[in-house]
C-alpha cells in the first residue's frame, strides 16, 4: 500500500481546518439562503436596511473564513503531499524503478480526500446542530419575520462533496507532477537536498549557516508559518473589535477558528521541520551540541517571519474592518465608528508570543529524547 | 584511559527482551589503536555506542579518567561529547544541505578550532570545499566525515565500520589516512569492523561474539593499510 491509514491519520490537521471552514460557511450560507425567502415579508425601511446588512455579513463572514480556510487547506494539502513524497522518496523511487507507472502510483494519493470528507461532513452536521441558535441570535431584536431553517441539498453538495472530490483530484494531480523526478534521483533522495546557495559566501559560524540554509531551503514553510500567524493575528483581533458590529457568537467563532488554525499549522510546520532535520539534529547531538543549540539552528530562522505575519495580519484586519464599517453598514441608521484597538493588539501579541515559545519549548524537549539508534536503523 | 567494567545492555521488553551486551569489561589506554572484531549482530555497534555515551547502559560503568559517563546528566553528557569524543559512521551522515567546508566547520566550531581547513587539505579535499555531499563519491564523503570528527580535536575517535560501504582501493586509502592522522595527532582510536584483515593494522584487537569479548591480544608489529590483505 502506497499511502497507509496511519499516514492519513496524521492529516488530522486538514480534517480540523476543513471542519472549521465548513461549519462557518454552512451556517452563514444556509442562513443567507433562508433569509432570502422572507424578503417579501419585509415592510418597514428599518427592517429592510437590517435585512441587507444581515445578508452582507453572512456573505462577508462565509467568504472571509471560507476563502481563507480553503486557501489554507490547499496549501496544507500540497505541503503535506510534498512532505510525504519527500520522506518516502526512496520507496516511491524503487516502485518506479520496478516499473510502476506514474499514474499507477499517483492514483493511490486520492485517499488524501478522506480526511476532507470526514472534516467537511462533520462540519456540515455540526452547523445544522448550531443553526437554531444562530437564527435566534441574528434576529434577537425582532426586526425580521421568523426565518425557518431549511435543508439545502445544493449547499450540502457544494460544501461536502465538491471539496472532497476537488482535494482528492488535487492530491492525485499534485503527486503526479511531483513524481516526474526520475526513479534514480528519488532513490538517492536528491530532490530533498536541492541546494539553494546564497550568493555571498560569508564566513558565518556553523549554527548561523545551518539556520540560514534551513530557511532558504524550505520557502514553502516560510510562507506557511507567516500565513498561519497572519490568520491568527487577523482573526483574533477582528473578533475582539467586532463585538459592536456583529453578534457575539460570530466573534467567538472567528476567534476560535483563528486560534485553532494557528496552532494546527504551527504544529504541522514545526513537526515537519523537525522530522526533515532528524538526522542533522541527531548528528549535532552526537557531536556535543546542546538541545537548545539544535532548536535554535533548526527552528529559530522562522521566528522573524512569524512576527512579520503578525504585523501583516494586524494591518489586514484593520483595513478589512474599516471597509466593512464604511461599505457594509453604511445604510444603518446609527453610524458606527471603528478605531484601531491597541490593547487588543498587545494582548494578542503576548498570547501569540507565549504560544509560539511554548511550541518551541516542547520541541526542544522532544529533541533531547532523539536517539542515535533511530537514525542508524533508518 | 577508558575503563569499562561489567557492561550490560538489553533491547526490547517482555518476551522479546534480549541481552545484547553480557557483561563486557575492557581497558583502553590513551593513544591506543583498538579494533573491535566480530560477526554481524555480535553487539559491536551497541558496545561502541554505549562506551561513547550515545546510548545509556543498563548496568556497569564506563569511566574516562575516573569520570563515570553512566552517571552524567544531560548537560554533563553534552559537555563530555563536545570535549572528548569524535564519531565516524558507516553511513557518513553528513549534513546534506551544507557544503564540505561547512560540514567540517560543524565540528570545528564546537572547540573554536579556526585551523580546520588544514584538515580538509589533509584528507585531500582542498579542491572540493564548496561541493555538497551528494556531489561526492562514498570515499570522499567518508573523508569529509573524518575531517569533521577530527576538526573538534577529540581525545577519542570512534569509528563504526568506516570502510563498510567502500570498495577495496577507496577503503585502503581511507584507512591509511586515518592511521596517519592518528600518529600525527595522537588521539585514542576505537574502530569496529567485521573485516579480520583490518585487525592487523591495530595495536590492540578485541574479538566479540554474541555480546561477550572472546579474545583480546596486541599486535607486536601493526601493518599499514597497503600491507594487509583485503
Ligand atoms: N534497537 C534495537 N532493538 C532491538 N534489538 C536490537 C536493537 N539494536 C540492535 N539490536 C540487536 O542487537 C544485536 C547487536 O546489534 P549491533 O550492536 O548492531 O551488532 P553489530 O554492530 O555487531 O552488527 C543484534 O542482534 C540486533 O538485532
Ligand atoms: Mg554494526
Q: Which domains does chain B have, with CATH numbers?
A: 2-218 (3.40.50.300)
pLDDT at residue B198 is higher than 80: yes
Asked if residue A336 and residue A281 are part of one domain, the reply reads: yes
Same domain as A175, residue A92: yes
Q: Output the pTM of the full model.
A: 0.78
Would you place residue A32 in the very low, low, confident or very high pLDDT band (cuts 50, 70, 90)?
A: confident
Predicted local confidence at residue B116, as pLDDT: 93
In this structure, the answer to whether residues A102 and A213 fall within a common structural domain is: no
Cell reading at B45: 555497534
For all residues of chain B together, what is the average pLDDT? 93
Q: Is any Cβ of chain A less than 8 angstroms from the Cβ of B93?
A: yes
Question: The sheet that has B204-209: what strands, in order across it?
Answer: B85-88, B156-160, B188-193, B33-38, B204-209, B212-218
In short, whether B84's Cβ falls inside 6 Å of ligand 1 is no
B79 touching A, CB under 8 A? yes
Tens-place pLDDT, residues B209-226: 999 999 999 999 999 989
State the pLDDT at residue A194.
55
Q: What is the mean pLDDT of residues A299-321?
A: 90
Whether residue A306 is found in the same domain as residue A366 = yes
pLDDT-derived band at A196, boundaries 50, 70, 90: low
Which of A231-240, A247-256, A305-314, B52-61 has the least mean pLDDT? A247-256
Comparing B31 with A317, the larger pLDDT belongs to B31
Q: B82–A205: do the CB atoms touch at under 8 Å?
A: no
- CB B42 near ligand 1, within 6 Å: yes
Please tell me if residue B41 touches chain A, with a CB cutoff of 8 Å.
no
- Domain check: are A225 and A361 in the same one? yes
Region of poorest pLDDT, from A122-131, A177-186, B68-77: A177-186
Atom of ligand 1 nearest to the CA of B42: 22
Confidence of residue B84 (pLDDT cuts 50, 70, 90): very high
**Within this chain, do residues A259 and A137 fall inside the same structural domain, yes or no?**
no
Q: Do A173 and A203 fall within a single domain?
A: no
DSSP chain B: -EEEEEEEEEESSGGG-EEEEEEEEEEE-TT-EEEEEE-TTSSHHHHHHHHTTSS--SEEEEEETTEEGGG--HHHHHHHHHHHEEEE-TT----TTS-HHHHHHHHHHHTT-TTTHHHHHHTT-GGGTT--GGGS-HHHHHHHHHHHHHHT--SEEEEESTTTTS-HHHHHHHHHHHHHHHHHH--EEEEEES-GGGGGG-SEEEEEETTEEEEEEE-SSPPPTTTS--
Q: Which is more confident, B153 or A88? A: B153
Q: Which domain holds residue A184?
A: 1-188
- Mean pLDDT over all residues of chain A? 81
Q: Looking at residues B108-128, what average pLDDT do you find?
A: 92
The last residue of a domain, from among A153, A188, A223? A188
pLDDT at position A344: 87
Joined grid coordinates for residue A97? 524503478
Residue A138's pLDDT band (cuts 50, 70, 90): confident
**B87 CB near a chain A CB, below 8 Å?**
yes
Domain end among A122, A154, A188: A188
Same domain, A169 and A302: no
Q: How many domains does chain A have?
A: 2
Identify the three-state secondary structure at position A87.
helix
Do both A119 and A36 map to the same domain? yes
Mutate to test the pocket of ligand 1, among B8, B13, B20, B162 (most ligand atoms within 8 A of CB): B20
ipTM over 0.90: no
Select from B95, B129, B132, B145 the residue whose CB has the most chain A CBs within 10 Å, as the one to mutate to test that interface.
Answer: B95
Both A24 and A69 in one domain: the answer is yes
Residue range A349-378, pLDDT digits in tens:
999 999 889 888 888 888 877 777 776 666
* Whole-number pLDDT of residue A195: 60
CA distance A155 to A286: 56
B22: β partners: B8
- Set of chain A residues whose Cβ sits within 8 Å of the Cβ of B79: 288
User: How confident is the model at residue A43, as a pLDDT?
Assistant: 79
Whether residue B179 is predicted with pLDDT greater than 90 in this model: the reply is: yes
Do A128 and A263 have their domain in common?
A: no
Pair A133, A243 in one domain:
no
Summarize the confidence of residues A255-270 as an average pLDDT.
80
Amino acid at each position: 500500500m502506497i499511502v497507509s491509514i496511519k499516514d492519513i491519520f496524521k492529516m488530522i490537521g486538514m480534517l480540523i481546518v476543513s471542519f472549521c471552514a465548513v461549519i462557518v460557511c454552512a451556517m452563514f450560507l444556509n442562513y443567507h439562503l433562508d433569509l432570502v425567502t422572507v424578503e417579501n415579508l419585509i415592510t418597514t425601511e428599518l427592517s429592510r436596511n437590517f435585512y441587507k446588512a444581515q445578508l452582507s455579513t453572512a456573505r462577508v463572514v462565509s467568504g472571509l473564513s471560507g476563502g481563507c480556510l480553503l486557501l489554507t487547506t490547499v496549501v496544507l494539502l500540497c505541503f503535506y503531499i510534498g512532505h510525504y513524497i519527500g520522506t518516502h522518496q526512496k520507496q516511491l523511487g524503487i516502485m518506479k524503478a520496478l516499473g510502476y507507472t506514474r499514474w499507477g502510483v499517483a492514483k493511490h494519493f486520492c485517499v488524501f480526500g478522506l480526511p476532507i470528507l470526514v472534516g467537511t461532513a462533520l462540519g456540515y452536521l455540526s452547523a445544522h446542530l448550531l443553526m437554531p441558535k444562530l437564527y435566534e441570535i441574528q434576529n434577537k431584536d425582532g426586526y425580521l419575520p421568523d426565518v425557518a431553517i431549511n435543508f439545502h441539498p445544493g449547499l450540502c453538495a457544494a460544501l461536502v462533496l465538491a471539496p472532497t472530490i476537488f482535494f482528492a483530484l488535487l492530491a492525485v494531480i499534485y503527486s503526479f507532477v511531483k513524481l516526474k523526478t526520475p526513479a534514480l534521483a528519488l532513490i538517492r533522495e536528491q530532490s530533498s537536498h536541492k541546494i539553494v546557495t546564497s550568493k555571498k559566501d560569508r564566513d558565518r559560524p556553523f549554527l548561523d549557516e545551518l539556520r540560514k540554509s534551513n530557511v532558504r531551503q524550505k520557502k514553502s514553510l516560510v510562507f506557511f508559518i507567516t500565513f498561519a500567524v497572519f490568520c491568527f493575528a487577523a482573526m483574533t483581533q477582528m473578533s475582539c473589535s467586532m463585538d459592536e458590529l456583529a453578534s457575539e457568537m460570530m466573534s467567538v467563532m472567528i476567534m476560535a477558528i483563528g486560534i485553532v488554525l494557528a496552532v494546527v499549522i504551527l504544529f504541522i510546520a514545526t513537526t515537519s521541520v523537525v522530522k526533515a532535520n532528524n538526522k542533522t539534529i541527531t548528528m549535532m547531538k552526537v557531536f556535543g551540541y546542546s538541545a537548545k543549540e539544535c532548536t535554535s539552528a533548526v527552528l529559530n530562522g522562522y521566528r522573524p517571519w512569524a512576527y512579520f505575519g503578525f504585523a501583516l495580519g494586524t494591518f489586514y484586519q484593520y483595513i478589512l474592518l474599516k471597509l466593512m464599517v464604511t461599505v457594509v453598514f453604511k445604510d444603518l441608521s446609527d453610524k458606527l465608528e471603528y478605531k484601531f484597538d491597541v490593547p487588543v493588539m498587545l494582548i494578542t501579541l503576548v498570547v501569540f508570543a507565549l504560544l509560539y515559545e511554548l511550541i518551541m519549548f516542547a520541541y526542544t524537549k522532544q529533541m533531547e529524547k532523539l536517539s542515535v539508534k533511530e537514525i542508524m536503523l533508518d | 584511559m577508558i575503563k569499562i567494567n561489567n557492561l550490560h545492555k538489553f533491547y526490547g521488553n517482555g518476551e522479546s527482551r534480549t541481552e545484547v551486551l553480557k557483561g563486557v569489561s575492557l581497558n583502553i589506554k590513551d593513544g591506543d589503536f583498538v579494533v573491535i572484531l566480530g560477526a554481524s549482530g555480535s553487539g559491536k555497534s551497541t558496545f561502541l555506542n554505549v562506551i561513547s555515551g550515545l546510548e545509556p547502559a543498563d548496568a556497569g560503568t564506563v569511566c574516562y579518567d575516573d569520570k563515570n559517563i553512566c552517571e552524567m546528566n544531560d548537560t554533563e553528557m553534552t559537555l563530555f561529547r563536545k570535549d572528548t569524543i569524535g564519531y565516524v559512521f558507516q553511513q557518513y551522515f553528513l549534513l546534506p544541505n551544507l557544503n564540505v567546508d561547512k560540514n567540517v566547520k560543524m565540528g570545528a566550531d564546537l572547540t573554536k578550532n579556526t585551523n580546520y581547513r588544514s584538515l580538509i587539505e589533509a584528507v585531500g579535499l582542498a579542491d572540493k570545499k564548496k561541493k555538497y555531499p551528494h556531489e561526492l563519491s562514498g570515499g570522499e564523503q567518508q573523508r569529509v566525515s573524518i575531517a569533521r570528527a577530527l576538526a573538534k580535536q577529540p581525545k577519542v575517535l570512534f569509528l563504526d565500520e568506516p570502510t563498510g560501504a567502500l570498495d577495496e582501493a577507496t577503503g585502503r586509502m581511507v584507512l591509511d589516512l586515518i592511521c596517519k592522522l592518528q600518529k600525527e595527532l595522537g588521539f585514542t582510536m576505537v574502530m569496529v569492523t567485521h573485516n579480520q584483515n583490518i585487525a592487523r593494522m591495530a595495536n590492540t584487537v578485541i574479538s566479540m561474539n554474541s555480546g561477550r569479548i572472546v579474545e583480546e591480544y596486541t599486535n607486536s608489529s601493526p601493518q599499514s593499510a597497503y600491507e594487509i590483505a583485503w
